[in-house]
A and B are shown apart, each in its own frame.
Chain A
Amino acid sequence: MKKTIRGALTLGTVFLAAGAASALEAKMYAVTTWNAGCSGSTRNSWDDMVKAWYDDVTNSGTSVFGWCVSGHCGEAYSKDGSLINGDVVNSRMADASRVAWGNDAVRLDDGDAVMIGLHGSDVGNGWSGSLRVDEPGGGDCKITTPEMEIGDTDLEFLHLSSCHSMEDNQWSTWEKSMAGAHQVDGFHGLMWIGSGLVDDYEDFSDDAFGGSIADSWVDNMYYSNEFGDNDADDQCPVAFAVGSSGADAVYRLHHERYDHVYSDPPNSGLTGSGTIYATTYISGCNPAGEDTIGN
């Protein structure tokens, strides 16, 4: 869907599309093996997890007598690119208005819903993702939140399968990267990789056609006392949305679906003063690698 269609709908939350979502596009980027100039430990199941999301969100399924009996039928997103390992470089995700080498307009920002699976860390109150290829020029082997400006081309929904990607100290930094994007979903602290977690990613996509994207992220990614020594570690998903006011941001957070897309929120930009953000998470969530959320 082209940005020009939405340009006039910037005041508050205006319902934009339902049943016409066939024009919406999904993309995925995932790395399992960092062996092309950048360092990172191999994680074999990561592509399966992200691909489970990608396959579901683009699954048009089957219709019988006008009933959609499987998949998402006319509301499925179209496949706009699946990059597993290969040339996963920072210029694909950085914006030219932030860094000279940025070129996300025809890559990351060209999709309507995109999922990225990379190692991640918390750097300077923002996310830092570990890329695979050390691209000539700036940026080295990382993509960081301040290098990103999302939604100025097309992107509405960005999902980060990455540690430390939406920590509670990063929210104001993410707000400054929102340039028309609606929502970013990530994790506070460490998230986990595993073949047994693949279905969570499919279910997240599937649920986000019937219920809110943010709530579906929380429902499917949250784990309580599940991992590590004595099952002590939680997995803490966080959904982040912006709006023209607090009420607008909260409404978007709990109501926007893949098959019910609102108009773009205001462009927040570098100052972060154009929008209010709202996040949702499970209170008291205490992951490995971070303090309890909200503390």
Chain B
Amino acid sequence: MKNQMHNPAILGLGAAFLMSVPAIAQVRGPALTAVLSPVVAAAPAAAAASQDDDSAKPAEPSPELQKRIREQVAASLPVWDKRLLTSYETAGPWEDNLNYEALNKALGETPFAWEGRTVPPPDADRLTDDSKSMRIRRAEGVFRYHSRKREFSADMKGKPAPSYDQVSRQIGALLGDLKFPLAEAGKADVKTQEVAVSNEAGEVAERFPSYSFFLLNRKVEGIPVEGSTVRAAVNLRGEVQRLKIAWPHFRVRPGAELLSRERVLETALQKVFAQDPTERLTLASRLVYAKTEKGDFLPAVQVDVNDGETPYRMTIPVAL
């Protein structure tokens, strides 16, 4: 939340004053929404010069191609059983530890400039001062942080990027402070974010690291969880400059029942047929857990389709 005092007089009146439009940013489109509701009407375009015309259906592939794709998809789909309907649930509401004072401490940050003078509203999800920005959405298990005083600067140029061991230990300790469910974490990965700079001839003249880039994905009982991730950038002084946590509370929908393989296959085929498949089509599939618009999770199959043009990924639930 930004502390934009655009109308201090309101504070003096002690009355809540809602400005502008409803908080549509709070409404996100989870992965399974489109799958469970195949016909999604385009939202009315509020803008000038707005136009949306994507209602036309593409031509059906030939019967021979449909047969071949059916065989390909059937061969690609993984096997699933009722073990996917796990009773596992994330232990403890770690999201409750997402408060700005604790986070500033864990990040080695200074307090917000406004601390001690004012208190943000309890539902505020964005906190900002001149040196940093935080976004806290406890209900969604989301936290994001950007530091401006820890951004790459000229004095860091030429220093090595912090090592895998240093970064993974550092972020692991930070997550531990938050009582983060590390048992759900897969193996951490650390990459190097690099900068390339040209000369006046337009050729790359130099390359150097600007951050170490930390990634952590989520697995529940060995199955990846779509969209759950921790990402962090650690600068060349070893400070966390950016942190993104998207790790919602995990629970498979109570009462969910597995769908038949044939039903999932037909759903996948209709989606492929609707996207102009060709003879070049190749597939790769895997089981995942995907978050639903209700906030719980369902087991699903991710199908990656590469067909000569822009590749696409379908996420199709295998239980409802």
The answer to whether residues A193 and B29 also contact, given A33-B58, A172-B203, A294-B207 and a CB cut-off of 8 A, is: no
Q: CA separation between A79 and B2, bound complex, in Å?
A: 21
| B182 contacts chain A at the CB level, 8 A cutoff | no
10 A-B pairs closest in CB distance: A210-B133, A211-B146, A172-B202, A79-B47, A194-B313, A196-B31, A70-B23, A81-B49, A41-B276, A86-B51
Q: Give the interface size class of chain B.
A: 35 or more
Residue pairs across A and B with Cβ atoms less than 8 A apart, 12 shown, are A66-B3, A69-B121, A71-B20, A73-B6, A81-B48, A119-B309, A171-B196, A190-B311, A192-B304, A210-B134, A272-B202, A281-B196
In the complex, the answer to whether A282 meets B191 with C-beta atoms within 8 Å is yes
In the complex, the answer to whether B275 meets A43 with C-beta atoms within 8 Å is yes
The answer to whether residues A280 and B23 also contact, given A35-B58, A47-B54, A172-B203 and a CB cut-off of 8 A, is: no
Which A residues touch B148, using CB under 8 A?
A: 211, 255
Q: Which residues of A contact B (CB under 8 A)?
A: 19, 32-33, 35, 40-48, 51-52, 55-56, 58-71, 73-75, 79-87, 119-120, 130, 162-163, 168, 171-172, 175-176, 190-199, 202-203, 206-207, 209-212, 215, 218-220, 222, 224, 227-231, 246-247, 249-251, 253-255, 272-273, 276-285, 288, 294
Which A residues touch B17, using CB under 8 A?
A: 63-65
Among listed B83-91, B102-110, B167-175, B226-234, interface-contacting one: B226-234
Digitize B166-208: 1 where CB-to-A-CB distance is under 8 Å, 0 elsewhere: 0000000000000000000000010111111111101111110
Counting chain A CB atoms within 10 Å of each CB, the highest count among B197, B215, B226, B277 belongs to B197
In the complex, the answer to whether A42 meets B275 with C-beta atoms within 8 Å is yes
Which of A73, A211, A212, A282 meets B2, CB within 8 Å? A73
Q: Quick one: closest A residue to B303, CB to CB?
A: A194
Q: Quick one: closest B residue to A191, CB to CB?
A: B310
Digitize B1-36: 1 where CB-to-A-CB distance is under 8 Å, 0 elsewhere: 111111110110000111111111110111111110
User: A44-B275, A224-B191, A251-B154 given. 12 additional CB < 8 A pairs?
Assistant: A41-B309, A65-B16, A68-B4, A81-B48, A81-B49, A84-B53, A193-B313, A206-B144, A207-B244, A215-B242, A222-B213, A276-B198
Which B residues touch A85, using CB under 8 A?
A: 51-54
Which A residues touch B189, using CB under 8 A?
A: 224
Q: CA separation between A115 and B46, bound complex, in Å?
A: 17
Docked complex: B114-162 residues within 8 A CB-CB of A = 120-121, 123-126, 128, 133-135, 144, 146, 148, 151-152, 154
Q: Quick one: closest B residue to A19, CB to CB?
A: B4
Which A residues touch B209, using CB under 8 A?
A: 283
Which B residues touch A42, using CB under 8 A?
A: 58, 274-276
In the complex, the answer to whether B19 meets A278 with C-beta atoms within 8 Å is no
In the complex, the answer to whether B312 meets A192 with C-beta atoms within 8 Å is yes
Q: Quick one: closest B residue to A26, CB to CB?
A: B47
Q: Quick one: closest B residue to A234, CB to CB?
A: B191
Which A residues touch B1, using CB under 8 A?
A: 67-69
Which A residues touch B11, using CB under 8 A?
A: 65-66
In the complex, the answer to whether A67 meets B195 with C-beta atoms within 8 Å is no
In the complex, the answer to whether B194 meets A33 with C-beta atoms within 8 Å is no
In the complex, the answer to whether A228 meets B304 with C-beta atoms within 8 Å is yes
In the complex, the answer to whether A68 meets B126 with C-beta atoms within 8 Å is yes
Q: CA separation between A247 and B267, bound complex, in Å?
A: 52
The answer to whether residues A194 and B51 also contact, given A64-B17, A68-B126, A229-B284 and a CB cut-off of 8 A, is: no
Counting chain B CB atoms within 10 Å of each CB, the highest count among A32, A168, A211, A255 belongs to A211
In the complex, the answer to whether A255 meets B151 with C-beta atoms within 8 Å is yes
Q: Quick one: closest A residue to B202, CB to CB?
A: A172
CB distance from A149 to the nearest CB of B (A): 16
| B219 contacts chain A at the CB level, 8 A cutoff | no
Which B residues touch A211, using CB under 8 A?
A: 133, 146, 148, 242
In the complex, the answer to whether B24 meets A207 with C-beta atoms within 8 Å is no
Q: Which residues of B contact A (CB under 8 A)?
A: 1-8, 10-11, 16-26, 28-35, 40, 42-43, 45-54, 56, 58, 120-121, 123-126, 128, 133-135, 144, 146, 148, 151-152, 154, 189, 191-200, 202-207, 209-210, 213, 215, 226-227, 231, 233, 242, 244, 271, 274-278, 282, 284, 286, 290, 302, 304, 306-315
Which B residues touch A273, using CB under 8 A?
A: 200
In the complex, the answer to whether A74 meets B47 with C-beta atoms within 8 Å is no
Which A residues touch B277, using CB under 8 A?
A: 41
Counting chain B CB atoms within 10 Å of each CB, the highest count among A64, A66, A74, A250 belongs to A66
The answer to whether residues A119 and B310 also contact, given A66-B5, A195-B31 and a CB cut-off of 8 A, is: yes
Q: CA separation between A206 and B73, bound complex, in Å?
A: 36
Counting chain A CB atoms within 10 Å of each CB, the highest count among B10, B304, B309 belongs to B309
Counting chain A CB atoms within 10 Å of each CB, the highest count among B120, B194, B226 belongs to B194
In the complex, the answer to whether B21 meets A61 with C-beta atoms within 8 Å is yes
Which of B6, B47, B151, B315 meets A195, CB within 8 Å? B315
In the complex, the answer to whether B146 meets A63 with C-beta atoms within 8 Å is no
